[in-house]
Amino acid sequence: MSDRTSDELPVSAGMPNDDPRPRGEDPVDSDEIDYVAPLEAHAASVADPNAKPILEVRDLKMYFPVKSSGIIRRTIGQVQAVDGVSFQVPEGGSLGLVGESGCGKSTTGRLITRLYQPTGGTINFDGRDISKTSARQLKPLRREIQMIFQDPYTSLNPRHSVGSIIGAPLAIHKVVPRDKILPRVQELLDIVGLNPEHYNRYPHEFSGGQRQRIGIARALTLQPKVLVADEPVSALDVSIQAQVINLLQDVQREFNIAFLFVAHDLAVVRHFCPEIAVMYLGKIVEIADRETLYNRPNHPYTQALLSAVPDVKQAAVGGRRERIRLEGDVPSPINPPSGCRFRTRCPIAQEICARVEPPLLQIGQRHKVACHFAGELGKHPDRPVTAPLLGVDDTGAPDPGATPSPLAANEPGYSDTWYDLERKTMASA
C-alpha cells in the first residue's frame, strides 16, 4: 500500500447510494442466505504469485512450562504447543492454518502478534526479526500486526462503549486529535457494516456477528499490514459466518491486508485462503496452494480432514465417498509420539514412522508434505519415499551406505526445485 502515510482510510467516499436499506436502521433484513453453501457468496480469493512475503516465520517454537503444584513450583515438563513451524504470508495475501483443537493454531497466532515470547525461531516482519523485540519496543509494531479473536463475547470489554472500544487504539497511539476520534470510529463502523450512530452502545446490545464486526473494526483502526484472524467465525451461526467472511474479504482487498486465517476445518478457509497449512500437534504436516491441497492432498491427516468437508468434490478424496474416521484422541503435546506425531492415529503407519520424524519435503511447485508414505489417497507408496533422502533404510534404521540429502531443511516458502515422488528425482518448473 503506497498511501499508508495518509491518516484517512481511503474509503466511504465511494459508498454506493443505491443501497436499498436505510443505513440508519438496525441491520435487520430479510436477505436470503444460501444455507447450502454459505461460503460461496464471494468469489474465492486468489494469490498474487509475485507478492513479496510480508511475514516469514522460521522454525518457530513455543514450549509452555508445566509446573508442579505446591509451594516450590518446579518445571516438570513442557507443553510443546508449537514445535518448529515455518511459513510465509505474502503481502496482501492470506494463509490458512487448519487443524484440530489443541494443535497449536492459536499459539502460532499469538506468537506472531507477540502476545507470547517464542521459545525459539524467528518471526520476520517486513524485513526485521520481531521474535525477540522487547515489550517497550513492540509498541510501534503493534500498529502493523493486529488480531481478530475467536470469542466475540469475551473479546470486547463489557464496560466500554463501542465508541471507546474502537477509538482506544487511536487514543493510545495518539494518531488523531481527540475530537477527530469519533468521526473515525463512525467511519469504521460504517466500513464493517454497522450503524455509525451506534457508537455509544455497549457490546451486550449487539449479537455475536455484530460483535465480531466491532472486533474487526477495532483491528482495522490502526490500518495494520498483517491481521491474525483466530477462528473469527467459529463462534457464530453458520448463516452469519458467510457474511463475516465476506466482510473480511472486502477489507482485505480494500486495505491490502495480509491474513493469517486460523480455522479448525477446511471448509471455512477454502474461499478465503489461496494457500493453506495443515497443523497437527504443533507441526505443519502439509502446506500447499488451495487447488493442490483440496484436489491432491498427500498427507493421511489432510485426507482425513478433507473427507469431513461435505461439499468438496468427490474426486478430491479419490472418488471415495466415505468419511475417514480417525481413531483415538490427539496425543498430549507434553509427551508427543516419537517419530511422526500422527503415527498413533495414522491408518498407514509403519515401523519407520515411530523411528524417524518425516521432514516437511517439497514435492511440487507449491506443495510440501511431511510423511514417509506421501501420496494421494489410495496411492500411498509401499516403501518410505523419504528413506533414501534421510539416509535410513525402509524400517528407519540408519543406513551407512546412504548419503542424506539437504532437502529436508525446515525453510519457509518454496524453492524452485522439488523432489518428484513419481520419478524419485529432483524436478523443477
Q: Which stretch binds ligand SF4 (CB under 6 A): 25-33, 118-126, 218-226, 371-379?
A: 371-379
Among ligand SF4, Mg ion, ligand ATP, none, partner that 353 touches (CB below 5 to 8 angstroms by kind): ligand SF4
CB nearer other proteins, residue 233 or residue 284: 233
Tell me which amino acid residue 86 is: S
Query: Is residue 114 near ligand SF4 by the rule CB under 6 A?
Result: no
- List the one residue from 172, 315, 409, 426 that touches other proteins (CB under 8 A): 172
Query: Is residue 107 near ligand ATP by the rule CB under 6 A?
Result: yes
CB nearer ligand ATP, residue 75 or residue 338: 75
370's grid cell = 511431511
Q: What is the largest CA-CA distance in the chain?
A: 76
CB nearer ligand ATP, residue 103 or residue 226: 103
312's grid cell = 468438496
CB 273 within 8 A of CB 96: yes
Instruction: Return the residues of window 83-102 that contact ligand ATP according to CB under 6 A.
Output: 99, 101-102
Query: Is residue 385 near ligand SF4 by the rule CB under 6 A?
Result: no
Cα–Cα distance between 43 and 420 in angstroms, integer?
32
Query: Is residue 67 near other proteins by the rule CB under 8 A?
Result: no
Q: What is the DSSP letter of 39?
A: G
Collapsing DSSP to helix, strand or coil, 87 comes out as strand
Tell me which amino acid residue 119 is: T
51's grid cell = 507478492
CB of 64 to ligand ATP, least distance (A): 3
Among ligand ATP, Mg ion, ligand SF4, none, partner that 101 touches (CB below 5 to 8 angstroms by kind): ligand ATP
Q: Categorise residue 304: left if φ over 0, alpha if ψ from -120 to 50, beta otherwise.
A: alpha
CB of 282 to ligand ATP, least distance (A): 7
- List the one residue from 88, 94, 106, 146 that touches Mg ion (CB under 5 A): 106
CB nearer other proteins, residue 110 or residue 380: 110
- List the one residue from 87, 199, 255, 373 that touches ligand SF4 (CB under 6 A): 373
Query: Is residue 349 near ligand SF4 by the rule CB under 6 A?
Result: yes
The count of chain residues that interact with Mg ion, using the rule CB under 5 A, is 1
Collapsing DSSP to helix, strand or coil, 205 comes out as helix
In 3D space, the residue among 427, 407, 406, 405 whose CA is nearest the CA of residue 417 turns out to be 427
Query: Is residue 372 near ligand SF4 by the rule CB under 6 A?
Result: yes
Instruction: Return the residues of window 200-259 that contact other proteins according to CB under 8 A.
Output: 200-202, 204-210, 215, 218, 222, 237, 239-240, 243, 246-247, 250-251, 253-254
CB 389 within 8 A of CB 402: no
- The neighbour count for residue 262, using CB atoms within 10 Å, is 26
CB of 159 to other proteins, least distance (A): 4
Instruction: Return the residues of window 54-73 that contact ligand ATP according to CB under 6 A.
Output: 64
CB 349 within 8 A of CB 298: no
The count of chain residues that interact with ligand ATP, using the rule CB under 6 A, is 13
Collapsing DSSP to helix, strand or coil, 325 comes out as coil
In 3D space, the residue among 29, 20, 41, 32 whose CA is nearest the CA of residue 243 turns out to be 41
338's grid cell = 516419537
Give the Å distances, CA to CA, from 47 to 366, 370, 405, 412.
12, 23, 31, 17
**Chain contacts with ligand SF4 (rule: CB under 6 A):** 299-300, 340, 342-343, 346, 348-349, 353, 358, 371-373
